[in-house]
Amino acid sequence: MNTSEILQAIASGERSAREVCDQALAHIEAGDGAINAFTATTARRARAEADAVDARRARGEALPPLAGLPYAVKNLFDVAGLTTLAGSRINRELPAAHEDALLVQRLQAAGAVLVGALNMDEYAYGFTTENTHYGATRNPHDRTRIAGGSSGGSGAAVAARQVPLTLGSDTNGSIRVPASLCGAWGLKPTFGRLSRRGTYPFVHSLDHLGPIADSVQGLALAYDAMQGPDPLDPGCHALRVQAAMPGLQQGTGGLRIGVLGGYFREHASAPARAAVDLAARTLGARDEVLWPDAALARAAAFIVTASEGASLHLPDLRRRPQDFEPLSVERFISGLLQPADWYLRAQRFRRAYRDQVNALFQHWDLLLAPATPISAPAVGTEWIEINGVSHPCRPAMGLLTQPISFAGCPVVAAPLWPEATGGMPIGVQLIAAPWNEALCLRAARALEQAGTARMKQ
């Protein structure tokens, strides 16, 4: 059952929230051994939350918008009673969290039912979720391939229909990459839109949180439930709620929609370009737009990421580097060796860069680009080729996402299924100006209604 069917069945009394919860837990237990999306399940808590929804319905109370909907969270979100692993071996030594992350609290208040925590790249530093400590998460559409990362468990769990909704984080593309490779819907909100309180950080000046879902409705409902100011998170800049759900049916008539060329065509394979072209035809977009300084932005994002990420883990990198993920420890160490001047120059560039990007939206309401350069490669792939040029696989999966998140723009990743990918998906980014998530979701809904973008049944 998808999000809409679950919510309707529970609201009508056709099914109880407890039934839906038990079915989700059974599905996870039966199939996750092959996919490895989950690092923990929270069965006792889930059943208690589902029973609370059923009790409200029995009393004749109005149900909240996500009543009974099962969901899971990347294991960098605090969940009361669980240790927040952040994909690491070192964090196993930490005590269990005393309370939920704020976004988990808000989803619980909206009636959603938490069923577990999800696998990820260690400390969110990666695009493949080939986690040495907890095992690689496999792509549900071909288990020899990666699920993407760093929110790989979040993408795979939705694509495998284990849960209709998950939460992930996106610093340089970590929601959009797994959404693209797994064929799910993903939303990276505006930087500062959603509170990060109660989550394990990676790069404070770049970290975003957001949902992955089986439908645009699922994205919008979760996004609306999680919105709101948080005076205890100085990085949360949202002063008011801007509901997205009511505008989903408005369509894209009158919107000025462009297609990113230049860097975003040069670093995309033929199937990735075909996916964008198909979305563009559906939305009536014809004009090519050049995004400013995309390559420089990606380079600056690498510098900021390495510097801030390494600084966070400096004590452990000094005394126990052998306990870090082998696939990322050298990048953390290199971040410690970067000159401070590099970091400061990258941040100064970012301020000017955001002004250039924001100027684009004086002429365009929405811009389209591929989310990943290729469809999911095999687990263990070291190099990929894009238009005759070889790239190291793990960082290259973020080639097309990093320049966008460095500007802080909201993005929906829409799942398309172009030919010549062996039946694998590639996502398309729907990009709007900061604080305009509703436009991304409107366009995503238009693609969904047209059948251009969809979850695979």
DSSP letters for 145-174: EE--SSSHHHHHHHHTTS-SEEEEEESSST
Task: State the catalytic residue, choosing from 16, 154, 169, 174.
Answer: 174
Short-list 227, 149, 243, 151, CA closest to 192:
227
Task: Enumerate the β-bridge partners of residue 212.
Answer: 166, 186
Which member of 16, 150, 375, 405 is catalytic? 150
Residue 191 lies inside a defined structural domain of this protein: yes
How many beta carbons lie within 10 A of that of residue 365, not counting itself?
17
Do 391 and 336 contact (CB within 8 A), yes or no?
A: no
- 455 located within any domain: no
Asked, for residue 457, whether it belongs to a domain, the answer is no
Q: What is the pLDDT of residue 427?
A: 98
Residue 456 placed within a domain:
no
Please check whether residue 216 lies inside any domain of the structure: yes
Q: For the packed helices 294-312 and 329-337, what is the interaxial angle rounded to 10 degrees?
A: 100
Containing structural domain, residue 324: 3-450
Number of domains in the chain: 1
Residue 156: inside a domain: yes
Q: Is 174 considered catalytic here?
A: yes
Tokens of 136: 């690689």
Of the listed 16, 74, 151, 307, which one is catalytic? 74
The whole-number pLDDT of residue 301 equals: 98
pLDDT of amino acid 303: 98
Q: What is the pLDDT of residue 420?
A: 87
Residue at 391 is within a domain: yes
Helix axes 17-35, 152-159, angle to 10 degrees: 120
d(CA 247, CA 265): 31
The reply to whether 74 belongs to the active site is: yes
CATH of residue 335's domain is 3.90.1300.10
Per-residue burial over 108-121, b if 16 or more Cβ lie within 10 Å, else e, is bebbbbbbbbbbbb
Instruction: Decide if 311 is catalytic.
Output: no
N- to C-terminal Cα distance for the chain? 10
Q: Can you give the pLDDT of all 457 residues of the chain as single tens digits?
A: 899 999 999 999 999 999 999 999 999 999 999 999 999 999 999 999 999 999 999 999 999 999 999 999 999 999 999 999 999 999 999 999 999 999 999 999 999 999 999 999 999 999 999 999 999 999 999 999 999 999 999 999 999 999 999 999 999 999 999 999 999 999 999 999 999 999 999 999 999 999 999 999 999 999 999 999 999 998 999 888 999 999 999 999 999 999 999 999 999 999 999 999 999 999 999 999 999 999 999 999 999 999 999 999 999 999 999 999 999 999 999 999 999 999 999 999 999 999 999 999 999 999 999 999 999 999 999 999 999 999 999 999 999 999 999 999 999 999 999 988 989 999 999 999 999 999 999 999 999 999 999 999 7
pLDDT of amino acid 37: 98
Does some domain include residue 116? yes
From CA 402, how far away is CA 172, in angstroms rounded?
5
Q: Give the pLDDT confidence score for residue 66 in this predicted structure.
A: 98
